[in-house]
Amino acid sequence: MKDLWGVLARQRDYRLMLSAGLISLIGDWLLRTGLAFQVYVLTGSTLASGGLLLASFVPPVVLGSLAGVFVDRWDRRTTMIVTNVLNALVLLPLLAVRDESAIWIVYGVVLAQSCLQQFFSPAEQSLVPVLVDSEQLVTANALNGQIRDIARLVGAALGGVLAALGGLTLLALADAGTFLIAVVLIAGMRHRRGSTPQHDEATAAEEAGGAIRRLRAEWTEGLRLCVAGQAMRLLFVFCLVTGVGEGIMSTLFAPFVSSELGGDGTAYGLIVSSQAIGGIVGGLVAAAIGSRLPAATMWGVGAFFFGLVDLTLFCYPLISDSLIPAFVCMIVVGLPGAFTVAGMMTVFQNLTQDGTRGRIFGAITATESVAVLVGITSAGFLGDAVGIIPVLVFQGLGYVVGGLVILSRRQVLAPRPEPAPPLTV
């Protein structure tokens, strides 16, 4: 626990950012859960509910890589404050939704918030390595992953309650309140980024009338840096493969619980939420031993065992129809899941430089979102043609093979950041 205490007790700015993230993420889950319930109540249509997923997926694909370019130019603390304020403001139109005729407002709000998230996430992830010492980076990333699981448990439960008590009005006001609290916490951070050489170059290019050319050059540079060098290519391919797997999982897990396990809607909800319990415990373990394991080793070991647990989950219905192993597997998988996220994010931060990290993160996020959409689309066809279990096994194998490859190449993934090549305009 020494590593955990060292980050939380000694790094004031990181502690404020972590607290702000927890509160705003609770609001995100609160709104996400409540909106899914309210949209179905207003429309009675599962297609209308599916529209929420589409509205949230479009911005990462279209905007993700471009948003990272701007994040690299801007002060990240200011970016996080502004996006949180805007997030609170765009929730206000939900107060006007009273019936099905205004459902388009809900889609607009979800779309706007997803757009803002494309600026917030790269700023947050780029700021973490600046706020903590390099040896504390794994611990910090493990804590970041843990608060997402805590927020999922708390926010999802509150979302259902608030939706039943006050509908969209109460959901919107509660979520807006979490964003404003986050603004206060982030504003209390002392960190300020001064002008960087890259920023000065960008300013000079813009003054010479090359703003559009500069933007295009920085955007394409972010895409190129995603696959520049063996280490970045390995990370990029891992994200693509597991992104397809996550798309398959999100599409077929509910049919898996229903058709293969014989569970109802309540069982499905409990099985899904149980992963957060393991994630919280796993996050604590990863944070506590973060400085004792190389990040690449943590990533590889986590991915390998994550895949093994998933394969156990997907294959055990071939010999048993009990729901108990499903609960156990979903709880247990939280530990290697926390290791995977903390290790991979630390490797990414070590491989990239401050000033280019935002655009690379945005580009990887955008391509990963495309991979998820490919997984969702293919799972719909393959689930009927091949069967639910064989398709889900692909998801588990992706993590197993990916983990083994990472462990075999962990020397390549050691932290050796290279200078960013000069941009040409």
Angle at 195 (CA atoms; ends 193, 200), nearest 5 degrees: 150
**pLDDT exceeds 90 at position 303:** yes
| 184: confidence class by pLDDT, cuts 50, 70, 90 | very high
pLDDT at residue number 397: 94
Does residue 202 carry a pLDDT above 60? Answer: no
Q: What is the pLDDT of residue 86?
A: 95
Distance between CA atoms of residues 149 and 273, nearest Å: 9
**What is the phi-psi region of residue 424: left when phi exceeds 0, alpha when psi lies from -120 to 50, beta otherwise?**
beta
Is the pLDDT at 75 greater than 70? The verdict is: yes
Q: Determine the residue type at 174.
A: A
Q: DSSP for 242-311?
A: HHHHHHHHHHHHHHIIIIIT---HHHHHHHHHHHHHHHHHHHHHHHHTGGGS-HHHHHHHHHHHHHHHHH
**Backbone φ, ψ for residue 344 (5° rounding):** -65, -45
Q: Tell me, what's the pLDDT at 301?
A: 93
DSSP-derived secondary structure for 104-123: HHHHHHHHHHHHHHHHHHHH
The residue among 280 and 201 whose pLDDT is bigger is 280
131-to-253, 288, 353 alpha-carbon distances in Å: 38, 18, 14
pLDDT at 8: 65
Residues 272-287 as b or e (16 or more Cβ within 10 Å = b): eebbbebbbbbbbbbb
Is 370:377 a contact under the CB 8 Å cutoff?
no
Neighbouring residues of 280: CB distance < 8 A, sequence distance ≥ 6? 146, 149, 150, 153, 334
Using pLDDT thresholds of 50, 70 and 90, give the confidence band for residue 82: very high
371 pLDDT more than 50: yes
Q: From the CB of residue 266, how many other CB atoms can be counted at a distance below 10 Å?
A: 8
Q: Provide the token pair at 26.
A: 């609770």
Q: How far apart are CA 181 and CA 187, in angstroms?
A: 10
The pTM score is 0.74
pLDDT of residue 6: 61
On average, the pLDDT of the chain sits at 80
Packing angle, helices 324-332 and 295-315, rounded to 10: 170
Query: Does residue 205 register a pLDDT over 60?
Result: no
Token duo for residue 380:
């719909």
Within 13 Å, how many C-alpha atoms sit on residue 4's CB side?
12
Average pLDDT over residues 195-223: 57
* pLDDT class of 307 with cuts at 50, 70, 90: very high
- Interhelix angle 334-351/357-385, rounded to 10 degrees, is 140
The closest of 414, 244, 246, 419 to 346, measured between CA atoms, is 414
- Highest mean pLDDT: which of 161-175, 373-387, 393-407? 393-407
Q: Average pLDDT in the 354-378 region? A: 82
Listed range (33-42, 346-355, 370-379) with the worst mean pLDDT:
33-42
Q: Is the pLDDT of residue 417 over 60?
A: no
Contact of 69 with 215, CB cutoff 8 Å: yes
Q: How big is the chain, counted in residues?
A: 425
Query: Which range has highest mean pLDDT (32-46, 147-161, 262-276, 317-331)?
Result: 317-331
Contacts (Cβ under 8 Å, ≥6 apart) of 312: 325, 329
Q: How far apart are CA 273 and CA 267, in angstroms?
A: 10
**pLDDT tier at 47, thresholds 50, 70, 90:** low
Helix (H, G, I), strand (E, B) or coil at 179: helix
Instruction: Compute CA distances 179 → 94, 151, 332, whole Å.
Output: 16, 14, 32
* Residue range 365-375: mean pLDDT, rounded: 85
Which residues fall within 8 angstroms of residue 392, CB to CB, at 6 or more apart?
248, 249, 252, 253, 256, 310, 314
What is residue 252's predicted lDDT score, i.e. its pLDDT? 84
One-letter amino acid identity for 257? Answer: V
pLDDT surpassing 60 at residue 159: yes
Residue 352 or residue 380, greater confidence: 352
In tens, the pLDDT along 262-299 reads 887 667 767 777 777 887 887 777 777 766 778 889 99
Residue-level pLDDT at 46? 57
pLDDT at position 195, please? Answer: 42
Per-residue pLDDT at 257: 84
Give me the pLDDT at residue 15, please: 87
pLDDT number for residue 5 = 58
